[in-house]
Amino acid sequence: MDKYVEISILLQIYGKLLTKKQLNVLDNYYNDNLSLSEIAENNNISRQGVRDLLKKGEDKLFEYEEKLEIMKKMKKNEQTIKTILAQLNKIGDNSSDKKVEKILNDIQKELRVLV
């Protein structure tokens, strides 16, 4: 997975556990695509200060994920849901019962919301 995408997801999961300054800098860098200079100017700190906040924030996010594994569990759940959807499609393709098809379609709609 691309580092930018991974950190963006980790920010969504664990961002509120960071300091406000770390969260702001990481959000600006990874989600708003601002440069170090732009972030430094917006926050009245040096580029090195931004760099330090980025590094410390990234380290914290990876530390939280290592301990809590929420993103890992989310990915596993997503894969499980995709497998279930594929199995439901097979059942639906082989069924001629309209009631069963309706129930399967309702279940599939609910599961797709989770993916």
Instruction: Calculate Rg over the CA atoms of the chain.
Output: 21
- Beta carbons of 57 and 22 less than 8 angstroms apart: yes
Look at 92 and 113; give whichever has higher pLDDT.
113
Among all chains, which residue has been given the structure tokens 């996010």? 61
CA dihedral sign, ordered 85, 86, 92, 95: negative
CB atoms within 10 A of CB 64: 18
Q: Tell me if the domain spanning 3-68 has CATH number 1.10.10.10.
A: yes
3-state secondary structure of 66: helix
pLDDT of 98 strictly over 90: no
For 96, the token pair is 């001629």
pTM over 0.75: yes
Type of residue at 87? Q
The pLDDT tens digits for 34-59 are 999 999 999 999 999 999 999 999 99
Please report the pLDDT score of residue 1 as a whole number: 77
In degrees, rounded to 5, the angle at the alpha carbon of residue 92 between the alpha carbons of residues 86 and 98 is 155
What residues does each domain of the chain span? 3-68, 74-114
